[in-house]
Amino acid sequence: MVDVGHKKVTRRQAVARGSVTLSSEAFDLVRRNGVKKGDVLGVAQMAGIQAAKKTWELVPLCHPLPLDGIDVDLRLEPRSSRVVVEARARARAVTGVEMEALTAVAVACLTVYDMVKGVDRAACIGEIRLVSKQGGKSGFSG
């Protein structure tokens, strides 16, 4: 694990995004909250938040960070039959929160997939990517 003990504590933020493309039938079920497993968007949001908090346990060389906040938002895009997931992680720390934001998105997308796979075997998790980051030596990027 990289030694970050010499770095200054700064306010850090990272935003990540991903999506799950669904069949029109599965998308309609999610929109109507009609999936047998329950509230897809609510469960996926909680899964993403929980995943961000456990990133250091999931990614072997990731530092444990005291998160100040994590927001996971899911929105429906009817034109493309997609669930778009965006996560914003914040901390005052010596290292960035990119991994926490990315992990939140990945696990939220996996949760959507898991909850709809019974009605949509072709559901597809889309590009998961870092949208922006702030703080630390490099300042803002994105």
What would the pLDDT profile of 16-47 be if each residue is shown by its tens digit? 999 999 999 999 999 999 999 999 999 999 99
Q: Quote the distance between the C-alpha of residue 67 and its chain's center.
A: 14
* SS3 label, residue 58: helix
Separation between Cα atoms, residue 142 and residue 23, nearest integer Å: 31
pLDDT tens string for the chain (142 positions)?
Answer: 788 878 888 899 999 999 999 999 999 999 999 999 999 999 999 999 999 999 999 999 999 999 999 999 999 999 999 999 999 999 999 888 999 999 999 999 999 999 999 999 999 999 999 999 998 766 655 5
Residue 22 parent element (H or E): none
- Choice among 68, 73, 114, 120 that is catalytic: 114
39 is catalytic: no
Could you give all domains of the chain from N- to C-terminal order, each with its CATH number? 10-134 (3.30.70.640)
